[in-house]
């Protein structure tokens, strides 16, 4: 009788614990091998096959309107299930502030005589870089309508009123949606996604706000993990040493942000492991430095339970280096020490569905094996070598001339150099003489500094690594732009109507420099580019100091010249409702430029400052794969690099998606676009984009049925009639991607 009463009590306790039987609409679900969903004892159970044939399981229930992850488990083959977590609750905290237009954007708008009407402010504020919505009151002179007020900032933990769920199959994935998420000004749904062929489980809030001018960040995780004698979280620190926490310390009031290398930490549980991490690129909004701010967290909630997840902190943390005077440091990198005015968060335009994901990786293996498996998604945070291509980055203000002058020797290795080598970079275009050195001097002072700059780039170039001395002159073409020449070139520049010293010619021979140019107008800047086969492109177009550009100069002869390559690509701003990186500002501009005139391209840039080995650089960098058989030696010059860029023989990528052999085949009306692509994360779609010179259109090829760590040869027939150009891209489910440059049709 006692046993019977105990069983009845246990049943009642279970019903009370899990509230109500979960009702799910499975009409959108289609069973397939290795990917199933079923109702079991009032809960929804997803089962899927992982990367090495592992069996994975996630069970979902509802407790008083709150979704619950009833169990996460993994096993090898037909072995015993290893439970990685039970009775877990999703947690999302959304912190929002007010998006403001920056004064840096206002400057070029005023120079262009563009009035700051409400429409202009509404359009341009969404491209703000110099904005830090969580810093009160803010620094005067950085943004419109300061000071910020404390009441602008809202921190809200999501609550739920869930009564049912929808289950749907999309290719080789299952999505489970729980409507009823409420997070203050945001409302929407909670979604879980599992993918056949990978151990990933994606948890995300998908929500929108109707309020204007919202900038936000989020925390996403799971809470309710149990503590036992063997529970621990492990991670690699910024020096790549293995660290651990065993939950033997005090209870935490707030999340403990781990400065984990590679944005990855792992829970060891039951003989298996559960990794937790943010998306590798889309999670990161643009900054000027890459200090590791701690993007994963744990929180010991009680003596028996804890939480895990991914986070963005509230503010920037600058470098604090040893060995350089405060005066020199403040002068050199004031741009990157703006903790009070540059931490822009994500955009949330009214009505847009913002996706706020965190990934969990279920594994029956130990933490070291799981770490290796997760790192495969980003090729160990290295830009993977691709035969026939070299990896190139651009636009870095390292102040190399000043560094070498301070060191008193050319044989000094800057801290940023091993960072580039570790990432697998072969070519780097620097941009000294921006806020450093004597950029606007027209005589010996600047020329001597250029000499040090060129020699420094020569010293640090190697057999498979080339430093290219570029410059961002920002003189007469409007906005900010980059100059690169095929060899070291001495030149000076002033901005009209200012003039150089009386009688200073456009070109002269000066010992010990040799040929020296002096530019004072847009016309002779273009002459310089033509005469020396240089290239120029608009840096950070339509934002920062290039707000309004290149639109304002689209009819100018220098823009229409073949010396004007196009513009640069950087993941700025980040809008989590967009499927692509820099979807509107960057890709939209590339399509428009190619409607305006002949071939114009997008070159990936960094536009960042100092770097150190313990930075988290990979997720905040997008690169170019340039079609080259080898890296030129410094003393040979780098004409092959500039020729490949001018021909559009390169593609831009975040690193997880790679392209090769993209080309238009055939002649006449019936043509084919052929390309090969490979990826790591489950892919989302490929697209062929084209324009007739007026409107832009595209063909989308869904890839949700494709496995992760896969590849495909694409052959896409298209009718060339009336089309001016085409380009190709592939994007994955985490928001990573790669795109080719436009091919203009003849």
Q: Domain 19-95+155-377 carries which CATH code?
A: 2.70.98
Cα distances (angstroms) measured from residue 184 to each of 300, 599, 691: 25, 47, 42
Q: What is the average pLDDT score of the chain? A: 93
Q: Tokens 């203050």 belong to which residue?
A: 184
Do you know the residue count of the chain?
746
* 176-205 residue pLDDT tens: 999 999 999 999 999 999 999 999 999 999
pLDDT at 553 over 70: yes
- Per-residue pLDDT, averaged over 265-291, amounts to 96
- Model confidence at 11: pLDDT above 50: no
Residue 1 has pLDDT above 90, yes or no: no
pLDDT(498) > 90: no
**Lowest-confidence range among 387-391, 503-507, 535-539, 722-726?**
503-507
**Strand locations in 64-147, DSSP E?**
66-75, 82-98
* Structure confidence at residue 4 as a pLDDT band (50, 70, 90): very low
Is residue 72 classed exposed, middle or buried when 0-12, 13-18 and 19+ CB atoms within 10 A define those classes? buried
**Residue 126 in contact with residue 99, Cβ under 8 Å?**
yes
- Please tell me which residue, 397 or 15, carries the higher pLDDT value: 397
Q: How confident is the model at residue 20 (pLDDT cuts 50, 70, 90)?
A: low
Alpha-carbon torsion (703, 706, 712, 717), positive or negative: negative
What are the tens digits of pLDDT across the range 627-685? 999 999 999 999 999 999 999 999 999 999 999 999 999 999 999 999 999 999 999 99
Q: What values do phi and psi take at 399, rounded to 5?
A: 55, 50
Name the CA radius of gyration of the chain, rounded. Answer: 27
* Range(s) of the chain covered by CATH 2.70.98: 19-95+155-377
CATH topology classification for 390-654: TIM Barrel (3.20.20)
Q: Give the span between the Cα atoms of 564 and 411, in whole angstroms.
A: 35
Residue 208 forms beta bridges with which residues?
Answer: 187
The pLDDT of residue 500 is 73
> Cα–Cα distance between 608 and 610 in angstroms, integer?
7
Reading the block at residue 710, the tokens are 């896969």
Query: Is the Cβ–Cβ distance between 648 and 626 less than 8 Å?
Result: no
The reported pTM is 0.94
Name the segment(s) of the chain with CATH classification 3.20.20.
390-654
What tokens were used for 437? 């050195």
CATH number of the domain at 656-746, out of 3.40.50.1000, 2.60.40.10, 3.40.50.300, 3.40.640.10?
Answer: 2.60.40.10
Q: What pLDDT sits at residue 8?
A: 37
Distance of CA 572 to the CA centre of its chain: 8
Q: How far apart are the first and last CA of the chain?
A: 89
């Amino acid at each position: 009788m006692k046993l019977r009463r105990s069983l009845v009590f246990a049943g009642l306790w279970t019903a009370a614990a899990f509230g109500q039987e979960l009702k799910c609409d499975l009409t959108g679900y289609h069973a397939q091998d290795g990917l199933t969903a079923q109702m079991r004892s009032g809960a929804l159970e997803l089962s899927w096959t992982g990367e090495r044939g592992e069996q994975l399981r996630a069970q979902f229930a509802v407790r008083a309107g709150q979704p619950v992850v009833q169990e996460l488990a993994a096993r090898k083959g037909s072995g015993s299930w290893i439970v990685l977590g039970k009775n877990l609750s999703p947690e999302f905290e959304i912190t929002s502030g007010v998006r403001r237009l920056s004064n840096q954007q206002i400057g070029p708008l005023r120079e262009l005589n563009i009035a700051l009407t409400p429409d202009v402010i509404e359009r341009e504020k969404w491209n703000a870089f110099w904005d830090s919505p969580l810093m009160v009151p803010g620094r005067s002179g950085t943004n419109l309508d300061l000071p910020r007020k404390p009441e602008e900032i809202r921190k809200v933990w999501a609550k739920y009123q869930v009564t049912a769920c929808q289950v749907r199959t999309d290719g080789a994935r299952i999505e489970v949606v729980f409507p009823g998420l409420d997070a203050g000004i945001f409302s929407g749904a909670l979604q879980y996604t599992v993918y056949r062929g990978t151990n990933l489980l994606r948890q995300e809030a998908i929500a929108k706000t109707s309020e204007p001018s919202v900038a936000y960040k989020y925390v996403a995780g799971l809470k309710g993990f149990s503590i036992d004698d063997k529970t621990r979280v492990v991670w690699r620190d910024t020096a790549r040493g293995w660290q651990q926490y065993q939950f033997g310390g005090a209870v935490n009031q707030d999340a403990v942000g781990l400065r984990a290398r590679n944005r990855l930490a792992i829970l060891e549980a039951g003989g298996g492991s559960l990794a937790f991490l943010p998306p590798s690129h889309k999670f990161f909004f643009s900054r000027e430095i890459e200090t590791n701010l701690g993007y994963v967290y744990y929180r010991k909630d009680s003596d028996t339970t804890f939480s895990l997840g991914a986070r963005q902190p509230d503010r920037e943390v600058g470098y604090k280096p040893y060995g350089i005077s405060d005066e020199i440091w403040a002068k050199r990198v004031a741009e990157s020490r703006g903790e009070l005015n540059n931490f822009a968060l994500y955009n949330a335009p009214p009505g847009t569905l913002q996706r706020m994901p965190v990934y969990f990786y279920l594994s029956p293996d130990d933490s070291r094996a799981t770490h290796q498996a997760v790192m495969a998604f980003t090729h160990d945070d290295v830009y993977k070598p691709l035969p026939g291509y070299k990896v190139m980055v651009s636009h870095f203000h390292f102040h190399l001339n000043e560094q070498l002058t301070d060191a008193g020797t050319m044989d000094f290795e800057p801290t940023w150099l091993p960072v580039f080598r570790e990432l697998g970079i072969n070519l780097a275009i620097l941009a000294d003489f921006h806020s450093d050195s004597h950029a606007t001097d027209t005589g010996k002072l600047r020329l001597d500094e250029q000499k040090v700059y060129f020699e420094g780039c020569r010293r640090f170039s190697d057999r498979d690594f080339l430093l290219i001395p570029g410059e961002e002159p920002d003189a007469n073409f409007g906005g900010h732009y980059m100059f690169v020449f095929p060899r070291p070139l001495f030149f000076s520049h002033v901005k009209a109507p200012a003039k150089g010293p009386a009688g200073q010619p456009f070109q002269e021979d000066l010992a010990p420099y040799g040929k020296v140019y002096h530019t004072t107008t847009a016309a002779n800047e273009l002459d310089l580019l033509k005469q020396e086969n240089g290239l120029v492109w608009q840096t950070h177009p339509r934002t920062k100091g290039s707000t309004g550009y290149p639109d304002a100069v689209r009819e100018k002869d220098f823009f229409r010249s073949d010396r004007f390559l196009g513009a640069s690509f950087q993941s700025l701003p980040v809008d989590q409702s967009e499927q692509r990186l820099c979807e509107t500002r960057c890709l939209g501009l590339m399509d428009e430029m190619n409607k305006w005139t002949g071939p114009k391209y997008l070159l990936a840039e960094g536009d960042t400052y100092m770097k150190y080995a313990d930075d988290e650089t990979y997720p905040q960098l997008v690169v170019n794969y340039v079609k080259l058989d080898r890296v030129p030696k410094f003393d040979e010059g780098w004409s092959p690099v500039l020729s490949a860029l001018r021909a559009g023989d390169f593609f831009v990528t975040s690193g997880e998606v790679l392209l090769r052999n993209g080309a238009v085949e055939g002649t006449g009306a019936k043509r084919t676009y052929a390309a090969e692509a490979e990826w790591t994360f489950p892919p989302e779609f490929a697209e062929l984009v084209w324009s007739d010179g007026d409107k832009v259109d595209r063909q989308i090829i869904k890839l949700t049925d494709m496995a992760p760590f896969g590849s495909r040869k694409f052959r896409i027939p298209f009718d060339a009639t009336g089309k001016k150009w085409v380009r190709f891209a592939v994007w994955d489910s985490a928001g990573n991607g790669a795109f080719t440059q436009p091919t203009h049709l003849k």
